[in-house]
Structures are given as structure tokens and as C-alpha cells.
Chains A and B, each alone.
Chain A
């Protein structure tokens, strides 16, 4: 039943208790609300009235905290007594690109201590950009007997010793997902810590780790975990070893291969191909490190039912990609390197009509002498062939306004448009004009746009367009753009649904910062670095809005009055107490 229907059938909140009880018992309400899964629905429901708030909080089993400092673990534990699964995000996104000081915070340990006391039956923990130590991992492993799923994305502070602790103690572990972390890889022995009696693993992702693991231990592990559906290996696993694993795990739905490039005998190749073709459930393929074109045909049998192909670690050429994609008609998500060039992207347009997401990463982002890579032509080609495209992340070295206009005309359903022209401040390379019209076209045409990353030479006009048209925009990333405060003011004034704004190296100053005064409490966070904001502006903001945490990170040797990096976020937990000295909370 829809919450709205329930609302209509319910008496007004002010009717006396007995009447309410007889018409709608709390238990029923809780039961009904427990069917709601997304945290946004649940948040809406909890705002209806006090009864609903209570019913909702008693029935919630999964809590999502987008900013770990917006709330304290005690507050969470007080409100939600029955949590089994927690998702926590910590540092600002720009920490992925080394813009946040190393010891900024977002340490998980305080949370774990509270969880150990209040949620002893915690089963899942998914962390993004948090700091975790080996001690915390060990604490986690021993404190929660029912612990099932651990997912770490972009976290740091731990080593493979922590993973060993998890493997040793978590008897019911179903998921161990270690992605793109700053992990101190001390060796592969952690994998051997899974006891021989352990059979529950369903998801194992250690693609991020570089050292060799004990292959025999892995083979045995995969062999006895019959429910395993996701297996993502690291580069040290060879093709031959892959074949041996696949023979024991044909039920795999997601596979991340190891290195895809050793010399195979003909017989080994045939065996590999046959093992792959037995994997009838496989819909996601990744890894393919150092993939050589000659072995790709082994993948053809799997490709027919693939929906997600991640080639972002395989430097394929355009012809190699074209041949491969000819076998992937059902592809919905594709990640590639720009070594495939525009011709490769043409092949994407030709072969993958169902494509919904495309990410093109640069193979050599710092070599500015390279002329190849992808250009606007490749993107346009994809847009002609893939009208369902709604998510794109595109790194290129040149772009034109006209091309982007064509692209969004072909694909008006963009929800995520992230275009990165790698030269900061580069204009339209044909007309020499700023890229304002490109992003103007994007926001005018793509009414469903939720996430936008802009790049290239941009004036305030871009932000006027964004403010005026991007009414569903929730996340905006800006770098090296804009001409004056007016740009940011347009965005703050116009984008009513804005939740995350991250800005770097733009000429926005205090006036811009303060124009969003009333807006920041409805947003998750604001990041501004290398802009023209001063300490006084930040102090004013902090003074006017006491429920915001205004943090300033100073660089060494910078001017005292400049606020080099500003991070503003709403919080009901008050200013945090674990900030390092370089971070000032105003």
C-alpha cells in the first residue's frame, strides 16, 4: 500500500488513543512500513506524524548516512534500535583526488564501539571514504557474531592484516568487497585465513590488491563456497588459474578476471573458452588486466548475455574493441579506456543499442603530448547509436558546443552527465568560444538531470543556465570555471534540489558563499577549494547558521585571511571533536 493511501485511511493524529488503536494497530503499521526499502521513502514517512515516526524507526533495519559527521553514532542508535545494516560515507569526494588532508577524520572506530553495544546483531557494513585501521577491522570481526557483509570503497588506513582478521573471525561472512582503497598491501596471506570449514562466501572482490595470493587456498575456497556469485580477482591471478577457478564456479554472475595476457597453449585456450562458456549466469565482466586482443575471443560465449563490461584496465585498440562488442548486443553498461579512440566508440554505437551507461577513462591522463584518445566525435557516435544512454563519464582532450548539443538531442534522458575536458579552462576547440552553450544544452534538454560535472572554459553564463533549467539537479561538480560570484549565486538560487556542491579553483568569493546561506541546511555538503573565499566570510557563515559545521583547511604557507579549502555541511551532532589541527571548525 502506498503511504498516501494509509494516510487517507488513518484518523487525524489528534483523535484519542483508543480510537486510533482500534482502527490501526501499530504492529500493522510497522509491518507495512517495513516493506519500504529506500531511505528516502522512509524519511518521508517518518515526517508524517509521531506515530508514523515511531513505527518507522522501529521497523528500519538499514540506515544510510551520507555524511558521517552529520549525525553521531549515539543519536543513530537512539533513534533506530533494530539496525542490521549500515552504510556510511565519510570524507568529501575530492579526497579521492588528494585534495583533503590525510588525517582529516572520518574514522570508523567510534561508530563501531557504539554499534558493538547497541547493534550486536549487525550484519552489514558498507563504508565509503572512511578511515579504518586494522584494529578497527579486528574489533569488527570479533564484536559481531552475525556479521555478514563488509564493503570498503575508497577507504584507507588499513592493511591486509585487517582483512586477515575478518577472514579468520567472521564465520558467517557472505560478502567481502574491497574496492579502490588506500590499502597497505602486506601480502596475500590473508586469503588463507578463511577456515577450511568456511563455505558461506557469496561475494569476494580483492581486485584492488596487488600482491600474490595463495592460489591453492583460493581454489579451495571457491570450490567449497557453492553460493559464490561475485568473484573479482586481482592481477596476480593468471589465465590458467582463472580457468581452474571457473571450472569449479560456473554459477558466477560477476567475474573480475586477473591478468589476461599470459602465453597460452592452444589446449589451455580451449579449456579457458569452455570454462567461460559454462558460465551461463554471468552478466558482469571486469578485470581483464593487460588484455591482449588474441585472447579476447575466449570471452565471446560470455558476451552474449553480458550487461556490464568493464574494460577500464584493458588498453584495447579500436579494432579489438569492435570485434569484442560485436558479440555483446545486450550491453547496458560499458567502461573503457580512451585507447579505443573514436573508432572504438563508433563500434559501441553500432553494436550496443541498449547501452545506458558509458564511462571512458584516460589511459595516459598526464601525458599532454598525446593527440589520440577520444574526441567529441566518439561521443557523438555513441549518442547516435545508443538513445537510452543516461549515464556518461567522459574524459577527453577536446570538445565542441555543437557536439554536445547533438549528443543531448540524441539522448535526452541523461541523469548523470560528467564531462571532463582534461585541459582546465579549454574552450570549444573549433570556435574558441567558452563551453557555455554545451552545458546550456545539457540542462535545457535533459530535464531529468541529477548529476552534472562541468569542465572546459566556462563563464557565468553556464551557471545561469544551470540555475534556470537544472531543476532536478542534485550533485554539481565545478572546476576551473566561472567568472564571478554571480555564477555561484545563480546555482544556489536556482537549483532547488541541490544536495552536493563541490567547487575547486573558481573565482567565487564570499558573496557567492553567503548567497547560499539558507540553502546549506537542505544540502548534504558544500566544498570550495582554491576559490576567493576568506576566513571572514566563513566566520560570518558559521555565525549566521549555527546548525552548519563550517570547516576550513589551511595550506602551509598560505595567506592567513584566505580560506583555502572550505567544507560546509549540516549536522545535528554539533562541531566535531576529532578534527586535526589543520582543520578549523568555525
Chain B
């Protein structure tokens, strides 16, 4: 059987084939296929992925499972359960009372396939196997990656290579009856059965439509663990406060963790809350396909660039590999409101020294995706924004 293809459960992977390949190198909650990355890089030399890829791993480095255990075994089992069509759990379209595992019991269960070797040719041809927007994003991403190269040189001493994890993951048999809630979105090769031409056409269609500013600005809001997603019209709110209270009302049936206003350091209980995911983080996907933390930019800029929203569990954000020290530092600055960018900058400056090493080692290693943004130095603000996206950020 072909090796399983797994994605980061954050669901970002499916938005871009480039991101998908970047996800693969991350090891926090996903596994990936090294050969696929290499194939992709050899086919797209301009993307310079290979350069970045080389810097990620140290030969003979420990597998990151050691790091994962920081956040409990949960992540490991989550990993193993990744890579399968996770939607039946989140998505109550099916209305199935039984979980995903039951749903595939009757079938072979061998759903997950790598995009096989020829996928790169497909990608080269512009045909997108799984992601509808892959074709587009591969055009936008080269920009980011090129600028990332110079800064990549600073990335030294990454303690883990994602590859050992990937190898281990490859051994995981594709049949898995215990996919849990935040399972990765695996793209099964050739399913649904739609011809490449149509897939590509619809991909560009979607991208076009989503860029249009209509009289209203509907964006989807999904919440981890919620059975359905909602749509909100961003134009009906004037600031973050109104917006977050509206969201709270909308998702009130699901617990949204309260952030205490004790700004002096993260209390033990708060940290535990974050770790166990009872608090939520509001993130959004912007025009470029990047996932950002809500609240970094002025409201108008946010409404202009926001494409969709996701309310993530704090533990998932933690699972992205934020060291506790950063959590503490940032949480301590939070007053339970969306912070202004300037405040963010100050916080960043203050803690930058402290976190420079750990940041590189933890953050970069865990999510290649974030890495690409981390090292984009063209705009310092962007850099800050992306790093902010990695920290847990309790909302009201």
C-alpha cells in the first residue's frame, strides 16, 4: 500500500499544496512524507524549498517525540490518528451518531494514500491532486520562500529533524479505527472522483470569488469540537469587541474559556487550562492563506483580509510547539482584550532575547508552515504577527 499522507489537523494543509508540503515537515501533530517534499522541491527549484528543508534537520537528531511528550501523550496518539478523513467527526452533515471509526469499520479502512511519485508531475502540470487552491498558492508562495532564504541561514541548531518522525509515521498502518476529533484532513487520492480540469477550474473560481468585496462580507467561522460552522458578516461589526461578543453569543453553547484579568504572570491554573484546552483561541485565515491571530491588526485591516475564522482550542495552539516560557510571557501581558499591535511589538521586543533561541528551536522545528512566515523579514510586523499566531491567546 502506498504510504499514508497525513496533514496537520489544523486543517490548514488542505488550503494549499505548498502549505501541505510545508506541513509535512512539521512534526507537532502531523506526519509527512519526506520523499514528497524532495520531489516537490526538485520540481520547483525556484521555490527553494530544498534549501529551507535542509536546514530543518540535523543528522542524527533525536526524534521530536521527546518534545511532544512535553504536552502529554495526547499528541502522540493524536498523531497516529491523524491522516484520515476527519470530517465525519466534526461535521454533522452526516448526522452520524457513531464516530468516524465506526463509519469505516465496514470498509477496508485503507483510505489514506500518499500522493504517489507522479504527483509532482501533476503538480508541475498545474493539476492539483487534492487541494483546490493548490495551483494558485504555488504561485504566491514562491515569493515568501524566496525572501525566507536569507533568514533561514540563521536557523541553526534545530534539535530535531522531522524526518525520523515521518519514517515512524510511515510505518503506521493506514487502517486506524481510532481517529479522534482533531484528526488531520487526509486527501484520498482520486476522491471524490472529479477530473483534474474541473478541480483546477473550481479552485481558481473559489479564489476569485472570495476576493470579491460584496455588500456584505460573510466569512465562515468554525470552532473545534462544534458540530457545525457558522457564517458571520464582518461588515456588521465595528470593532473587535462587538465581534467577539457576537461570536461568544453564537457559540455560547460551547465553552469559551474566560481569560482572567490577572495580568501578572500566568497562574498555574491558567496554564493548566491552556494546556488542557479549555480555553479557546481565535484565529483567522487571511488573503494569502496564512493563519493569524485575531486582534493583531486594526479592525479595518482585519475585515479586509480575513477569509475565514477558526476558533481553536488552546491545547491545539500549544501543540504547535510553543514553549511554556513564551506562553507565560505573552499571557501575562494579556488583559483579556485584543491587544493593539504596538503592545505586541513591545512585548516582542522585551522577550525577544529570551526567546530567540528557544523560538527557533521549538517553533521552527514544529511547523514548517509557521517557519515560512517566521523568517519573512520584509515586514517586521508580519513577522510579529505570525509568531503571535503561535501563542495561545485567550479571548473573551
Contacts of A532 on B, CB cut-off 8 Å? 108
The docked-state distance in angstroms from the alpha carbon of A363 to that of B203 is 8
B202 at the interface (CB under 8 A from A): yes
Contact B108 A426 (CB under 8 A): no
A184 at the interface (CB under 8 A from B): yes
Mark B76-108 against chain A: 1 for CB-CB distance below 8 A, else 0: 000000000111101101111110000110111
A-B contact pairs, 7 of them (CB 8 A): A97-B189, A101-B118, A368-B90, A397-B94, A434-B106, A505-B110, A507-B108
- Known interface pairs A94-B190, A289-B205, A424-B188; 17 further A-B residue pairs with C-beta atoms within 8 A, sorted by A's residue number: A98-B190, A154-B195, A180-B197, A181-B197, A290-B205, A361-B198, A369-B222, A395-B192, A398-B94, A424-B104, A424-B111, A426-B103, A427-B103, A459-B106, A480-B107, A555-B116, A558-B1
The docked-state distance in angstroms from the alpha carbon of A218 to that of B209 is 29
Contacts of B208 on A, CB cut-off 8 Å? 290
- Classify the secondary structure of A's interface with B: loop
A177 at the interface (CB under 8 A from B): no
The docked-state distance in angstroms from the alpha carbon of A429 to that of B1 is 30
Contact A365 B106 (CB under 8 A): no
Contacts of B103 on A, CB cut-off 8 Å? 423, 425-427, 457
The chain B residues found within 8 Å of chain A, CB to CB, are: 1-3, 11, 14, 85-88, 90-91, 93-98, 103-104, 106-108, 110-111, 113, 116-119, 121-122, 125, 127, 129-132, 170, 185, 187-199, 201-202, 205-206, 208-209, 220, 222, 228-229
| Contacting residue for B194 out of A97, A505, A507, CB 8 A | A97
Contact B195 A180 (CB under 8 A): yes
Contacts of B193 on A, CB cut-off 8 Å? 96-97, 420, 477, 479
Minimum Cβ distance to chain B for residue A551 (Å): 17
Contacts of A315 on B, CB cut-off 8 Å? 205, 209
Contact A426 B125 (CB under 8 A): no
Contact A555 B96 (CB under 8 A): no
Contacts of B189 on A, CB cut-off 8 Å? 97-99
The docked-state distance in angstroms from the alpha carbon of A556 to that of B2 is 7
Q: From known contacts A480-B108, A505-B111, infer whether A368 and B205 are also in contact, taking CB-CB under 8 Å.
A: no
Q: From known contacts A481-B107, A505-B111, infer whether A426 and B206 are also in contact, taking CB-CB under 8 Å.
A: no
The docked-state distance in angstroms from the alpha carbon of A96 to that of B87 is 25
Tell me the residues in window 312-340 of chain A with beta carbons closer than 8 Å to chain B beta carbons.
312-313, 315, 337
The chain A residues found within 8 Å of chain B, CB to CB, are: 94, 96-99, 101-102, 154, 180-182, 184, 208, 289-290, 312-313, 315, 337, 361-371, 395, 397-398, 420, 422-427, 429-430, 432, 434, 457-459, 477, 479-483, 504-507, 530-532, 555-559, 562, 564
| Contacting residue for B118 out of A102, A180, A420, A422, CB 8 A | A102
> Which of A363, A371, A424, A430 has its CB near the most chain B CB atoms (within 10 A)?
A424
The residue in chain A whose Cβ has the minimal distance to the Cβ of B35 is: A556
CB-CB nearest 10 A-B residue pairs: A97-B190, A368-B87, A429-B95, A102-B118, A425-B107, A180-B197, A555-B2, A429-B94, A480-B107, A397-B93
The residue in chain B whose Cβ has the minimal distance to the Cβ of A362 is: B192
> Which of B1, B14, B106, B188 has its CB near the most chain A CB atoms (within 10 A)?
B106
Contacts of A531 on B, CB cut-off 8 Å? 108
Contact B205 A363 (CB under 8 A): yes
The residue in chain A whose Cβ has the minimal distance to the Cβ of B116 is: A555
Contacts of B197 on A, CB cut-off 8 Å? 180-181, 208
The residue in chain A whose Cβ has the minimal distance to the Cβ of B199 is: A365
The residue in chain A whose Cβ has the minimal distance to the Cβ of B197 is: A180
> Which of B193, B201, B209, B229 has its CB near the most chain A CB atoms (within 10 A)?
B193
Contact A530 B113 (CB under 8 A): yes
Contacts of B229 on A, CB cut-off 8 Å? 369, 371
Contacts of A429 on B, CB cut-off 8 Å? 93-96
Contacts of A457 on B, CB cut-off 8 Å? 103, 106-107
Contacts of B87 on A, CB cut-off 8 Å? 368-369, 423
Q: From known contacts A366-B131, A366-B187, A479-B191, infer whether A530 and B198 are also in contact, taking CB-CB under 8 Å.
A: no
Contacts of B201 on A, CB cut-off 8 Å? 289, 313
Q: From known contacts A312-B198, A362-B194, A364-B202, infer whether A557 and B85 are also in contact, taking CB-CB under 8 Å.
A: no
The docked-state distance in angstroms from the alpha carbon of A420 to that of B191 is 10
Minimum Cβ distance to chain B for residue A211 (Å): 12
Contact A430 B131 (CB under 8 A): no
The docked-state distance in angstroms from the alpha carbon of A119 to that of B194 is 36
Minimum Cβ distance to chain A for residue B32 (Å): 15
Contact B96 A368 (CB under 8 A): no
Q: From known contacts A423-B87, A424-B111, infer whether A398 and B95 are also in contact, taking CB-CB under 8 Å.
A: yes
